[in-house]
Amino acid sequence: GSGGSGGEQRRLWWHRFSISSHFYSHKTSVFTPAYGSVTNVRINSTMSTPQVLKLLLNKFKIENSAEEFALYMVHTSGEKQKLRGSDFPLLARILQGPCEQVSKVFLMEKDQVEEVTYDVAQYIKFEMPILRSFIQKLEEEEDREVKKLKHKYSILRLMIEQRLEEISEGPTAM
């Protein structure tokens, strides 16, 4: 045959279909690594986010445009931070400390990820009843602050009205 033995053709077909056990579709040229897939690339501290991004896309054999992807620092708390183009991913990761479980750098599609700030991430792991009680406490605090402000401004309004009366009752100069 023109392409070798049947077993060899099946092996080549499987190799093209699955790269490191990740699904690849030749029809769409879309490559989808399994979520949380780990890979290693050799980078240095002077490489910017776009450089590391291109390196990872090449490593995973992703043909899509680099513009579709971004690098994110994901913390165990649930916080997700997009690395800017001017960031240096290796330095950003080193600044998180030596424990790889605390935070990891993920390659993700830009439009599929919503950044989560630390302030929001700290509440992610709470159950709904606890979150509702937080909201109730915040609403109570807000009500107290609103009452304080209304009281303060009602006193100011009374003072202004009194002063206006004093001015209008005073002697008029002609």
pLDDT of 79-128, one tens digit each?
889 999 999 999 999 999 888 888 889 888 887 777 777 777 778 778 88
Q: Which domain holds residue 74?
A: 33-121
Same domain, 107 and 44: yes
Domain-embedded: residue 13: no
Name the pLDDT band for 39 (thresholds 50, 70, 90): confident
Same domain, 99 and 53: yes
Name the pLDDT band for 5 (thresholds 50, 70, 90): low
Q: Is 62 exposed, middle or buried (0-12, 13-18, 19+ CB in 10 A)?
A: buried
Contact 89, 80 (CB under 8 A): no
Q: What is the pLDDT of residues 139-154, one digit of tens each?
A: 999 999 999 999 999 9
Residue 34 in 3-state DSSP?
coil
Domain-embedded: residue 148: yes
Same domain, 64 and 143: no
More confident: 116 or 155: 155
For residue 89, give the CATH number of its domain: 3.10.20.90
Q: Is 158 exposed, middle or buried (0-12, 13-18, 19+ CB in 10 A)?
A: exposed
Confidence at residue 172, expressed as pLDDT on a 0 to 100 scale: 60
Same domain, 100 and 132: no
Q: What is the pLDDT of residues 59-76, one digit of tens each?
A: 877 778 888 889 999 888
Cα-based distances in Å from 74 to 65, 89, 93, 129:
22, 12, 10, 26
Last residue of a domain, one of 121, 150, 165: 121
- Is the model's pTM score more than 0.85? no
Handedness of CA 138, 144, 147, 148 (dihedral sign): negative
Last residue of a domain, one of 86, 103, 121: 121
